[in-house]
Chains A and B, each alone.
Chain A
Amino acid sequence: MTPEEIKAAIQASATINLEVYYYWATAIMVLIHAGFLMYEMGASRVKHTLASGTKNILAFAFMIPTFFMFGWWIYLAMTAGFIPNFEAGAGGVPWSDAMGPNLKDNASGVFVAAFTLFACTTASILSGAVIERIRMMAFIILAVLLGSVVWVLSASWGWHYDGWMTKSLGYHDFGASGVVHMISGFFALGVLINLGPRVGKFNSDGSANIIKGHSLPMTATGLMLIVVGFFGFLGACVIFPGTAVSFHETMWTNIYGQPTTLSAIAFNTLMAVAGGIIGCYVMTRDPFWMMSGALCGVISAAAGLDLWYPGTAFVIAFIGGLIGPLAAKFIEKRGIDDAVGAVAVHGMCGVWGLLAVGIFMGGYPAVSETIPGITFYGQFVGMLVMAALGFIPGFMVSFVMKKLGILRASNAVQEAGMDVEIVGDAYPEQMITNTPKTKG
C-alpha cells in the first residue's frame, strides 16, 4: 500500500468509529428519557400518572421530526445571532443530501441523532415542572418551541466553534450547563408563572402544601437511569478525532476544538454525581432530593467537566447539591409550583455551573488567538444571555396561551385527575394501601 492508501484506510476506519461512537452514545441518551418518564410518573399522584407519562412520551416523539424539520438548520445557520447564514445552514435543510442516507456522509445522521436527544432532554426538563395541570396541546407546542428552536439557538451561539458567544466571549460550556440546563430551567420558569400552581398546592395565606408523588421508588430509580444516560450525553459532547469533521487528527476535543480525553469526562462525571448526592443528603436526607442531587452535581460541574481537577469537580457538585433544594424552597416561597424542582435543579445549578467556570478556571486559552480564553466576564455575560433566552420565549408564548385559555386544565379536571383524558388506567386494581406506621 502507498502512504496515501494507508492514510485513506486509517481515515476510513476513524470515520466508521466516529459513526459507531455517536450511534451508541445516542442510544445511551435514550435512557435519560426513560428515566424522566419514570421520574415524572412517580412524582405524579395516581390519578395523574398516565397523563404525565403520555406527555413525556409525546415530547420525545415530537422532538424527533421537528428537530429534523428545522432544529438542525437553526444550529448550523444561526451562529451569528438572529440573522441566519443560509450558506452555513445549507447542510441542515431537511431536503439536503446530508439529511438522509448518504454513503458519502457518515457523520450528519449520528450528529443529528445526538442533538435530537439533547433536544428531548430539554423537553423532558420542562415536562416535569408542569405535571398535573398543563393541557396536552399547549405542552406539545411549548416543548417543540424549547426543544427544536430555543435551546438550538443557544447551542448555535454558545456550543458551536463558530458561535458568537464562543468567538466574542470565550464562553465555555463543555457539558451544557447553560445551553441545555439553564435554558430549559428558565424556559420552565417562564411557563410556570403563567401556568399557575396545581390545585391545592398553596393555601390562602400563601403557605405551601407538600404534594407527594405516588411512587418515590419509581422516581428515584428514574433519576438513576437519567444518571446512566448522562454518560451518553456527556460522551456525545466530545468530538471524535481523525476524521474529516474532527478538529484534531489524534486527540478528542470539546465542541470548541480544545483538546480533551474521555478519561477527563469519566473522572469528573463520577465525581460530580457523588458530590451532588452527598450535598443533597447533607441538606435534606430525602431520597428524592439525593437522586435529584446527582443531577444538581452533574449540571453544576458540566460546564467545566473537561478541565476540573476531580476534587474540585466534587466540591463544585457538592455546592450544587446544596443549591438545588435551597433554590427549590426559594421558588416555592414565591408562589411558583415547580412539581419536580426543574427550575432549581436545571436552571439554578446551571447558573452555578457557568459561574463556577468563570470563578475558578481563569487563564485557559482558546484554540485560536483571535478567540478570548475563559474569563469570569465571558461566563457571567453568557449566563445572562442563557437566562434571558430561556425565560423570555417561555413566558411570552405561555402568556398568549393563558390569554387564549388553552394553557391550563380546568380545576374540575385536575381534581378528577388528568388521566380522565387518557385511555387506560395506570393500575388495574386499587393498589394503594394505607397501613399506619407502628412505633417500634
Chain B
Amino acid sequence: MINSSPITTWEGAGAIFTFAGGGAALWFWIMAVLLIVPLAVAFKAEKNAENEHD
C-alpha cells in the first residue's frame, strides 16, 4: 500500500531499506518518541509502588 521502495531494479542498487528514498527520518523520530514511553511507564509504576508502601 505504501510505496517505500527506493529502487525499481536490483541492478546497481545501494541503500535498499524502506523509505531510503525519503521518509526514513520520520521513523527515526517515531522510534525516539517510543523510547520515552517506557520511561514514563517506569516512573508511574515506581511512584505507585512508593505510594503503596510508604
Q: Which residues of A contact B (CB under 8 A)?
A: 258-260, 264, 275, 278, 281-282, 285, 304, 307-312, 314-315, 318, 358-365, 367, 373-374, 376, 439-440
Contact = CB atoms under 8 A, between A and B. Distances in A.
A365 B34 contact: no
14 contacts: A259-B10, A278-B34, A282-B41, A285-B41, A308-B18, A309-B27, A311-B27, A314-B31, A315-B34, A318-B34, A360-B18, A362-B4, A363-B5, A364-B7
Interface of B: 1-5, 7-10, 13, 16-20, 24, 27-28, 30-31, 34-35, 37-38, 41, 45, 53
A365 B16 contact: no
A258 B3 CA distance: 18
Nearest to A271: B31
Contacts of A258: 10
Given A264-B17, A307-B17, A364 B24 contact: no
Contacts of A365: 5, 7-10
Nearest to A277: B38
Contact of A308 (B9, B17, B37, B45): B17
A312 B41 contact: no
A335 B37 CA distance: 32
A56 B45 CA distance: 37
Nearest to A260: B16
A372 to B, nearest CB: 13
B3 A362 contact: yes
Nearest to A364: B5
B30 A362 contact: no
Nearest to B8: A365
> In this complex, which of A258, A310, A358, A359 has the most chain B Cβ atoms within 10 angstroms of its Cβ?
A310
Contact of A259 (B1, B13, B53): B13
A2 B2 CA distance: 51
A258 B53 CA distance: 57
Given A278-B34, A361-B4, A304 B18 contact: yes
A308 B5 CA distance: 10
Nearest to B54: A440
Nearest to A253: B10
A45 B35 CA distance: 35
A281 to B, nearest CB: 5
A435 to B, nearest CB: 18
Nearest to B6: A363
Nearest to A439: B53
B19 A312 contact: yes
A399 B27 CA distance: 46
> In this complex, which of B20, B38, B45 has the most chain A Cβ atoms within 10 angstroms of its Cβ?
B38
Contacts of B35: 278
Contacts of A281: 38, 41
B10 A362 contact: no
Contact of A360 (B4, B13, B41, B53): B4
Given A311-B30, A365-B8, 14 more contacts: A259-B10, A260-B16, A264-B17, A275-B31, A275-B34, A278-B37, A278-B38, A281-B38, A307-B17, A307-B18, A309-B27, A311-B24, A314-B27, A361-B2
B27 A312 contact: yes
A358 B8 contact: no
A367 B28 CA distance: 29
A315 B30 contact: yes
Contacts of B16: 259-260, 264, 307
Nearest to A315: B30
A356 to B, nearest CB: 10
Contact of A362 (B1, B34, B45): B1
Contacts of B41: 281-282, 285
Nearest to B49: A440
**Which 6 A-B residue pairs are closest in the complex by CB-CB distance?**
A363-B5, A311-B27, A363-B3, A362-B3, A364-B5, A311-B31
B38 A309 contact: no
B9 to A, nearest CB: 6
